[in-house]
Amino acid sequence: MKKVVSIQDISCFGKCSLTVALPVISAMGIETAVIPTAVLSTHTGEGFSGYTFRDLTSDIPAIAEHWKKMELRFDALYTGYLGSPQQADIVSQFFDDFGTRDNFIVVDPVLGDAGRLYAGFNTDFVQKMTRLCAKADFILPNMTEASFMLGVPYVEDYNEVYVHDILRRLAQLGCKTPVLTGVNFNDGRQGAVAYDSINDTFCEAFGRNVDHRFHGTGDIFASVFTGAVALGKELGQALEISVNFTLDCIEATIPHLDEIWYGSCFELCLGKLIEYVK
Ligand code: PXL
């Protein structure tokens, strides 16, 4: 079986990070190992306040040491929300220990949305995450995250030329294939655009735009994308499956709009995902 290890927090309530990655990647027929970076009572996004946060930074090196002794191997290393700047350094070491010629690294640089950093993050953390991105084969920032990492102003009105320029600059950070998510040219569509810097080519996938912010959709996209590449899908195909499934989850959540601030109803769509990757 294909094996992915996902390194991100577990938010006990609120559907994101590991409570998304585990079911989504597993549904794709892929074994999913996890390293929880922190345990939070809820995610830190809008709608929740007073959440608890247990930092698991010091557990990560011990887990990695144990796994090294066992000579565990993974087809993909996939990171999302990290709980502290130190964790970025520890994960960087994890990449050195578990990255091989035959596997690939996905960094979803979870930093913020809608032009703002998430609670508790600062520019020091942005720098650490940017450095981590240099070690990845794929990075999956949204426009907010890309803008913070590149030190350019966040804009909501942009065109394809702008997106291609952002992607080329992201590749210059050191990552092979940056993928910009949540791309919206205000033409009724939303999707993702990727830049394959080895072949100097762009590719993209779009679906219809639904004009609401749904929490956790970035994690759904990143999990499906990682799974699809692990299953051997080409970049264009992986983008298409990820965009289509994310849109399925959004559409399934529309009848439950009172719940969108804490997560999307991805559970209702897992059957479709299984079909997409058959
Ligand atoms: O969905 C990204 C995410 C993951 N983990 C935590 C978060 C967020 C976004 O707000 O707060 C704890």
Q: Report whether 21 contacts 219 (CB < 8 A).
A: yes
Supply the residue whose CA is at minimum distance from atom 8 of ligand 1: 43
- pLDDT for the residue numbered 260: 83
SS3 at position 34: strand
From 95, 156, 84, 164, select the one nearest 124 (Cα to Cα).
84
| pLDDT for residue 33 | 98
Q: What residues form DSSP beta bridges with 142?
A: 181
User: Atom 10 in ligand 1: which residue has the minimum CA distance?
Assistant: 45
Cβ < 6 A, ligand 1 pocket: 9, 11, 16-17, 40, 43-45, 81, 110, 118, 216, 218-219
pLDDT tens-digit readout, 102-138: 999 999 999 999 999 999 999 999 999 999 999 999 9
Ligand 1: residue whose CA is nearest its atom 9: 45
Q: Cα 234–235–236 angle (5° rounding)?
A: 95
Q: Is it the case that residue 178 has pLDDT exceeding 90?
A: yes
Higher pLDDT, 259 or 33: 33
pLDDT exceeds cutoff 90 at 48: no
| pLDDT, tens only, 212-224 | 888 999 999 999 9
Token duo for residue 144? 């907010």
Q: What's the CA-to-centroid distance between 150 and ligand 1, angstroms?
A: 21
Query: Given this model, what pLDDT does residue 83 score?
Result: 85
Q: How far is the CA of 132 from the centre of ligand 1 (A)?
A: 18
Chain mean pLDDT for the chain: 96
Residue 276 has pLDDT above 90, yes or no: yes
- Name beta bridge partners: 66: none
Global confidence as pTM? 0.97
Percentage, residues of the chain above pLDDT 90: 93
Amino acid identity of residue 45, one-letter, is G
pLDDT at res. 45 = 84
Nearest CA to ligand 1 atom 12: 43
For range 68-83, the mean pLDDT: 97
Mutate to test the pocket of ligand 1, among 43, 54, 125 (most ligand atoms within 8 A of CB): 43
Residue 119 CA, closest ligand 1 atom number? 11
Give the whole-number percent of the chain exceeding pLDDT 70.
100
State mean pLDDT over 260-270: 93
Cβ density class 26-64: b for 16+ within 10 Å, e for less: ebbebebbbbbbbbbebbbbeebeebeeeebbeebeebb
Q: Please give the Cα distance from 63 to 170 (Å, whole number).
A: 31
Please tell me the predicted confidence (pLDDT) of residue 258.
Answer: 86
How does residue 261 score in pLDDT terms, banded at 50, 70 and 90?
Answer: confident
Average pLDDT, integer, range 55-70? 97
* Nearest residue by C-alpha to atom 1 in ligand 1: 216
Determine the residue of 11, 12, 82 to mutate for testing ligand 1's pocket, defined as the one with the most ligand atoms within 8 A of the Cβ atom. Answer: 11
Could you read off the pLDDT of 187-210 as tens digits, one per residue? 999 999 999 999 999 999 999 999
114 alpha carbon to ligand 1 midpoint, in Å? 14
How many angstroms separate the alpha carbon of residue 260 from the centre of ligand 1? 14
C-alpha pair distances (Å), 204 with each of 6, 82, 182, 242: 25, 27, 11, 11
Q: What is the pLDDT of residue 90?
A: 97
Our measurement of the distance from residue 247's CA atom to the centroid of its chain's CA atoms, rounded to an integer in Å, reads 16
Q: Are 148 and 111 in contact (CB under 8 A)?
A: yes
Distance (Å) from CA 266 to ligand 1 centroid = 16
Q: Which atom of ligand 1 is nearest to the CA of 40?
A: 12
Candidate of 42, 53, 81 to mutate for ligand 1, largest count of ligand atoms within 8 Å of Cβ: 81
- Give 77: exposed, middle or buried? Use CB within 10 Å, 0-12, 13-18, 19+: buried
Q: What is the pLDDT of residues 213-258, one digit of tens each?
A: 889 999 999 999 999 999 999 999 999 999 999 999 999 999 998 8
Contact 134, 100 (CB under 8 A): no
pLDDT the model gives residue 172: 98
Residue 63 has phi, psi (to 5 degrees) of -60, -45
Rounded mean pLDDT of 148-165?
A: 98
Index of the ligand 1 atom closest to the CA of residue 9: 5
Which residue has the CA at smallest separation from atom 7 of ligand 1? 43
Confidence class of residue 50 from pLDDT cuts 50, 70 and 90?
very high
Please tell me the distance from the alpha carbon of residue 160 to that of residue 195, in angstroms, as a whole number. 12
Output DSSP code: residue 101: T
